[in-house]
Structure formats: structure tokens, C-alpha cells
Structure 1
């Protein structure tokens, strides 16, 4: 048996190393695509988002389906008012109007979602210059979500976002009539679950609609300053 003092030293060193390893892990760049199944310009952006989901773990792609195309022949089954409200807040910062396909990167920059060159450049810039106010981790626990946020500087809204990994939809009317669309990381819900003010914080929230869930830290100006996928130990990691 090791002496108590040595055991304590080893435990402290292990905790320190674990803490440093956790803090050093880069957070994913959050890419939000505002899209609609009723928009003929959106499928190329949807395909690009799917490629990001399939190939890059350093990017967290989320597809928000808006409702304002629904009156033009096809009602997008994944559209919801929360997507409209989120895009409207971004519109106040960027262009003063909403459009599809719009891609917002880390809440700080926006590009046309089908412009792969501009989007890739914005993602690379966010990856090199992005701010992480605090480390975030989250797990599914007993039907809910347990969230741990470390200490840091600043304040942020804590958001829980639920999404489905993939949907395939045959379009019967509207601008995409006759096409079958494959869409990834389709957001089904977004809920504010708390406020972080710089000190370490533990939160417990009910699970929201969606196969997978992520936690975002959003600054008052809309910038994303923290992000983590919710880990479900019973499943393979979600992209």
C-alpha cells in the first residue's frame, strides 16, 4: 500500500493532468444553416452541411429549417418557429433580412450556405480565432441531460439543442417537386436552460426533442463561446 501522502500526490497530479487535457481539447466550430425544403437554392447547401457532418468532428453542423417558405407550395415538416426567431436575431446583426440558404459560423460571420469557398474560409478562420469562454461537457442521465461548465471569463446563455442525424424526404410540391432530399443534423428544438456568469456551473435539464443533443454557450452579442455534444454512453458518438 502506498503512503497516504504519495497517494494524495498521485491523485492530485492525475486530476491536474486530466484537467489540462480537458481544457486543451478544442471545441467544435458551430455552423448553423438556415434552410427549407421549399427553397430550390437550398439542396447544395444541405449537401455541404451533410459532408461537414460526415467528415469533420471539429465542426458542429446544425440545420435550422425555417417556416417562411411553407406557404409557397410545400410545408417543410421540420420547420419550426424557433428557427425563424433565431435567424431573425442574426439578421439584426448581419443583413437586416432573412434568406435561405444562410450559413452562420460561430455566431460571428455569415455566408451564402451554398458558397463552399466562403463557408470553408469562415470555418477555418473561426477555428483559428474562435473564443472559448469555458469548457463544456454534457451527458444524458436518467432521461435528462447533465451539463458541466467550467470557470472562465464573461457571461453566456446556455442553450440545449436537439437534432436528428438524417432525414430523407420525397418532395411532392413546390420548387423542389420530384426531388428526394437527404438532410443532416436537422434541428428539432432549441431551449435556454440557464445562464453562466464566469463561475463553474452544473445544470440538469429535461431532454429536448431530437435524436441527439448539443449544448451551446452564446454570448449576449450572439457569438458562440462554448459548445459540446451531449454524450450518450449507450450510443456511438453523434456527429
Structure 2
């Protein structure tokens, strides 16, 4: 009789442990998600590319693969289309002088060449944007060795513009907050130039980028003009804090609509 009672008690405890473990796992699955970053590793990939460059489509394709592979991790991709290829037969409609200027600034800081496709990781390392092994290695190194400064972001769409609220504790006078409006995916049929006749697919295209000096304010609102044919599912906001002297990116976050 004692043995029977003991066996029953053990079974009851085991069942209670099983139920508790199940509830814990369910709570983990349903925990709410925050739009702010945590203090752990992150990787910001800034690709400088162009529709007029025949070497760029493999890099663009790689960014799409990385976006899918790391969609649940703090990996942030920004594709800047530069304008210095435009005089060679095809004008890239996503290109801008501002994007080319940002690449030139990196060249000065990192003592590197200006070329496409060029990838900058966390503002510290440059490499060929289509070199998959090198890119993957750089991402893993960044995720393990960086410390993500916290940025809180929220976005609201109105009839004519996008309003982005931001907040951070970083107030170093050498730091700036870059808030970027990004189109997740689109494509172009190229009719002239080195990629004549090709259907090119692009990921994470930079459309507008606002700079905020953090020495003036660590919280506030910045605005973007609403793009034509705007679809909330295909756009997002990426924010990043950068030391303008060293080029190092100290933290990043993103928010969808």
C-alpha cells in the first residue's frame, strides 16, 4: 500500500512538471515583441550598388538571400544606389548623389577605394558585396562582437507623409542618428548599359535618409514624404547611430508599418 501511494505521488509530480514546462514554453512563444534593440550583437550591411554595373546583380541577389536567412536576427541591410554609373548608358532611378557621397565618406574613413558592389559592415569593415563567404563571416563576427546601443522607434503613416518617433540615450556630440526609409523589394527591366536586357531584382533600397545630431536632441520626430504607390507591407524604417569620426555604427533598430 505504501509503495502504491509512493508511485502515485511520483506520477503526480511528474505530470505537474510536464504541465509547468508546457506553460513555460507557450509563454515564451506568445511573449510580446518590442521595436527597440537589446544590448547584444548586431550587423548593419550597407551595400553600394548600381543598375548600370554588371558586377552588381550577384551582390543584390546575395542581400535578398541574407535578408531572408537572418530575418529573425538583428541584421539590417541598406542598399544605396550610387549615381556615378548613370553616364554610361543607363540611369538608375534609385540612385542619388547623396548615396555616392556617403560611399566617398567611407572611403576617406576606411582608406578604401570607391567601387561597386562594395559592402560596409557596421561602418568598420569593407569588402566586395558579392563575396558570400566573406559577407557571411563578417556578419557572424559582428553578431558576436558588437554591442547594440538602444534605439526606440515608432512610425505612423498619414495622408501625405510618414512620421517617425525616436528615442535613445546616446548623446555623444560625435554621434548622429540616421533614420532611413527603405523599400524591401522591387525590380527593374534594364534597357541600356552593361545590364541591357536584364530583369534586375533589388532588396532593401534606400529612398530617403534623415540625419539627426544627437548632441541637440536624443528624442523627437522626423518626417518623410510619402512615396508614390506606397504599400505598408513593402516598406520599413531602419535607424542607426554612427560615430561620425570613426565611422563605427554603435546600434541599429527597425520598425515596420
TM-score by length of 2: 0.74
Q: Distance in 2 between matches of 1:167 and 1:131?
A: 32
How much does 1:230 deviate?
Answer: 2.6
* Structure 2 residue aligned with 1:223: 248
Higher mean C-alpha displacement, 56-65 vs 154-163: 154-163
* Structure 2 residue aligned with 1:98: 114
Matches within 5 A, 1:50-69: 50-57=64-71, 58=73, 59-69=75-85
What is the RMSD of the two structures over their aligned residues, measured on CA atoms? 2.3
Per the alignment, in what secondary structure is the counterpart of residue 207 of structure 1? strand
After superposition, the Cα gap between the structure-2 partners of 1:154 and 1:127, relative to the gap in structure 1 and judged at 3 Å, is farther
Q: Which has the larger radius of gyration?
A: 2
How much does 1:195 deviate?
Answer: 1.2
Which of 15, 34, 40 in structure 1 is aligned with 2:54? 40
After superposition, the C-alpha distances for 1:125-171 in whole angstroms (9 at most, x for unaligned) are: 11111133x31110013641111213687852011111111111111
TM-score by length of 1: 0.80
* Structure 2 residue aligned with 1:75: 91
Residues 1:205 and 2:230 aligned together: no
Point out where structure 2 has 5 or more consecutive residues left out of the alignment.
Answer: 1-31, 228-234
Higher mean C-alpha displacement, 70-79 vs 150-159: 150-159
Q: Distance in 1 between matches of 2:214 and 2:168?
A: 11
Aligned residues: 209
Matches within 5 A, 1:1-20: none
After superposition, the Cα gap between the structure-2 partners of 1:135 and 1:155, relative to the gap in structure 1 and judged at 3 Å, is farther
